[in-house]
Amino acid sequence: MNNELELRYGMNPHQKPARVYVNQGALPIQVLHGQPGFINLLDALHGWQLVRELKQSLGLAAAASFKHVSPAGAAVSVPLTETLQQIYFVGAADLSPLATAYARARGADRISAFGDWAALSDVVDVSTARLLQREVSDGVIAPGYEPAALELLRQKKGGGYRVVQIDPDYEPPALEEREVFGVKMAQQRNTAVPTTADFSNIVTQNKNLPDNAKRDMVIALITLKYTQSNSVCYVYDGQTIGVGAGQQSRIHCTRLAGSKADTWFLRQHPRVLALPFREGLGRPLRDNSIDQFLLEQLTPAEEAIWQQNFTTPPIRLTAAEKRAWLDQWRDVTLGSDAFFPFRDSIDRAYQSGVSFVAQPGGSLRDDDVIAACNDYNMVMILTATRLFHH
């Protein structure tokens, strides 16, 4: 029985020795290839819980792209449009449901997902392994791997890619413990799993909550459950499109996640789709070039380097052109891990197409927040369950 695993190092390379272990029974994970580090396993174990709960709640294959113990993206297996196939660099490939979910999770915020840890709800097939093989990624956790898929992943990163298998039936103890600065703390594990059954308390005048919005609310809330707080999450069409993690104020979370959602929409603008990249430019540099294209301006030195990525210098979108494009989008869902203390987050969220809001409620200004939603004809539900995560 294996109850301990030596790690490369802890949070940083100088923090040695490092290990992962359980006090009773066997470890629920097996390392099939590579040697994960401390942060790798933090990402892996949090990511696994996220995708497991998405699959449990929605019955769809799920994927998450994790960076520094927060998701850069999370998604379920909703078919891709032709535009999403283009901006996710998957073309018209025949993707499995699991591969589709990962393409969405990785494509939510491709800048943040660079060097991610992937978490997958189902046995990894060849279709998914091929996507993982070509992305800059540190490792993957899943309940199993088809033999051909595992062989592909063992070849990644010159044979250094980390592949972890987890027992899908493993359930941790009800009490979880943590030690900080020699002080031990314990609490009951957060077993609240958001489902569509939580969405009965609609407090706005508009009470039209379609099934796709309920699905997206589940995605938002489960994603937030495993995002460093404070956090908010924008979801559209079965995937996150903007995650604002670890901010000290709710409005800063909303602005950060909203700017990521805006970038996701703007990546689909015809002018972005037609950018004249020079031949052979890799996906990471294309992602960075698109991100810079959408900035208001670069320094002269940055501009000179940036223009080298194109066959001809592209003309940037104006602020008015961006606003006109963003104003076309609606039916975005906004989730929050705790209540909105002011209406400012709702005002900001509307600028990124939000039509549906899920949050715990409990603020002294709940009435102001509800009134703001009514001003924009949004639908808001109160869950009464806070989802802080640290």
| Mean pLDDT value across residues 82-91 | 94
What pLDDT, on a 0 to 100 scale, did the predictor assign at position 8? 87
- pLDDT over threshold 70, residue 30: yes
**Residue with the two structure tokens 């449009």:** 81
Question: For the chain, what percent of residues have pLDDT higher than 70?
Answer: 100
- Per-residue pLDDT at 296: 80
The pLDDT of residue 185 is: 96
- Number of CB atoms found within 10 A of residue 104's CB: 27
For residue 92, the model assigns a pLDDT of 79
Catalytically active residues are 67-68, 230, 390
Residue pLDDT, tens place only, 209-235: 999 999 999 999 999 999 999 999 999
pLDDT tens track for 340-372? 999 999 999 999 999 999 999 999 999 999 999
In DSSP terms, which residues pair with 152 in a beta bridge? none
Residue 33 banded pLDDT, cuts 50, 70, 90: very high
Residue carrying structure tokens 């998604």: 75
What is the number of H-type helices and E-type strands within the chain?
13, 15
Range of lowest pLDDT (53-62, 276-285, 376-385)? 276-285
The pLDDT, as a whole number, for residue 100 is: 98
pLDDT at 23: 86
Amino acid at 188: Q
Cβ atoms < 10 Å from Cβ of 277 = 15
Name residue 186's beta-bridge partners: 177
Task: Specify the pLDDT at position 157.
Answer: 87
Place of tokens 């909303």: 254
Q: Determine which helix (DSSP H) or strand (DSSP E) holds 319, and give its type and residue range.
A: helix 319-326
Instruction: pLDDT band for 2, please (50, 70, 90 cuts).
Output: confident
Coil vs helix vs strand at 312: coil
Strand partners, 67: 70
The answer to whether 225 and 205 have CB atoms below 8 angstroms apart is no
In this predicted model, what pLDDT tens digit does every residue of 133-186 receive, in sequence order? Answer: 999 999 999 999 999 999 999 999 888 999 999 999 999 999 999 999 999 999
Reported as a single tens digit per residue, the pLDDT across 304-313 is 999 999 999 8
- Asked whether the predicted pLDDT for residue 3 surpasses 90, the reply is no
pLDDT band at residue 1 using 50, 70 and 90 as cut-offs: low
Tokens of 306: 């940036």
